[in-house]
């Protein structure tokens, strides 16, 4: 038989459960409510807006007035182009363009020379840079030993002139891609370009160094240097 249990009746008061506190509803959010937390106003008056506009314009003009990145690095593309184009005329060489020596143009010409040699299946980047450095040191000492007290040629200008006069060698490396290697035609063309580089480099060295004596000895040294570079192309 089932046993019956007597459960007392529980009666809650009309206010609900007395163990729980009633929560009052929160008032709607307002920027200037209690706790004195006032928010910043973003309203800009006419005077303040004009000042902010002037600051923005001044900062923009500062960026506009900044020189280009190449000029900050000391690379003048117009100067490089004018110097390179002056080498194309071996009869009339503009000396005043080469008074300000730089190494950016020669480096680009040497990289172009090495690139065309790479297209021919020859990796000569290190040889080209090494030979030009040794040749510049050799020509610098030869010129100043011949000139004596009258020698005013510095090493920086010597490297710059030798590098810019490599332009005929770069053209020869381009033509060698379309000519048979070690043929009679390429020997004749190479002799023409070697004489071209020798004439231009000798004239620039003499005029920049302001020493016109023993021009033949300076030309002979330049002829040996550019003959070595031409042998890299031929063979």
> What number of residues does the chain have?
235
Range of the domain at 183: 76-234
Q: DSSP character for 24?
A: P
Residue 185 covered by a domain: yes
Residue 48 covered by a domain: no
Residue 222 covered by a domain: yes
Neighbours of 101 (CB within 10 A): 19
Contact 230, 169 (CB under 8 A): yes
Q: DSSP character for 166?
A: T
Residue 92 covered by a domain: yes
Residue 8 covered by a domain: no
Q: Looking at residue 92, what is its pLDDT?
A: 80
Q: Report CA-CA distances (Å) from 40 to 10, 28, 37.
A: 56, 20, 10
Q: Looking at residue 28, what is its pLDDT?
A: 56
Residue 37 covered by a domain: no
Taking the chain (235 residues) in runs of 10, the rounded mean pLDDT of each run is 61 54 54 50 51 53 66 80 90 82 93 96 94 95 86 90 96 94 91 96 91 89 96 92
Q: What domain count does the chain have?
A: 1
Residue 223 covered by a domain: yes
Q: For the CA atoms of the chain, what is the radius of gyration?
A: 41
Q: Looking at residue 97, what is its pLDDT?
A: 85
Q: Looking at residue 39, what is its pLDDT?
A: 47
Residue 168 covered by a domain: yes
**What is the rounded distance in angstroms from the CA atom of residue 43 to the CA atom of residue 109?**
60
**What is the rounded distance in angstroms from the CA atom of residue 80 to the CA atom of residue 105?**
5
């Amino acid at each position: 038989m089932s046993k019956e249990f007597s459960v007392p009746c529980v009666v809650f008061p009309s206010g609900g459960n007395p163990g729980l506190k009633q929560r009052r509803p929160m008032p709607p959010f307002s920027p200037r409510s209690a706790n004195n937390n006032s928010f910043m106003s973003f309203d800009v008056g006419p005077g303040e807006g004009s000042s902010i506009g002037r600051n923005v314009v001044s900062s923009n003009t500062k960026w506009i007035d900044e020189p280009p990145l190449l000029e900050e690095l000391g690379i003048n593309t117009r100067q490089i182009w004018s110097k390179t184009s002056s080498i194309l005329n071996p009869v009339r060489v503009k000396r005043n363009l080469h008074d300000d020596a730089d190494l950016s143009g020669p480096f680009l010409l040497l990289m172009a020379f090495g690139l065309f040699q790479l297209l021919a299946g020859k990796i000569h980047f290190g040889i080209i840079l090494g030979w030009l450095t040794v040749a510049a040191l050799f020509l610098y000492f030869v010129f100043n030993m011949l000139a004596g007290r009258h020698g005013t040629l510095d090493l920086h200008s010597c490297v710059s002139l030798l590098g810019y006069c490599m332009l005929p060698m770069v053209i020869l490396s381009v033509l060698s891609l379309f000519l048979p290697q070690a043929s009679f035609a390429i020997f004749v063309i190479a002799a023409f370009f070697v004489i071209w580089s020798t004439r231009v480099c000798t004239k620039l060295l003499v005029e920049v160094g302001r020493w016109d004596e023993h021009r033949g000895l300076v030309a002979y040294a330049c002829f040996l240097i550019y003959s070595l570079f031409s042998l890299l192309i031929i063979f």
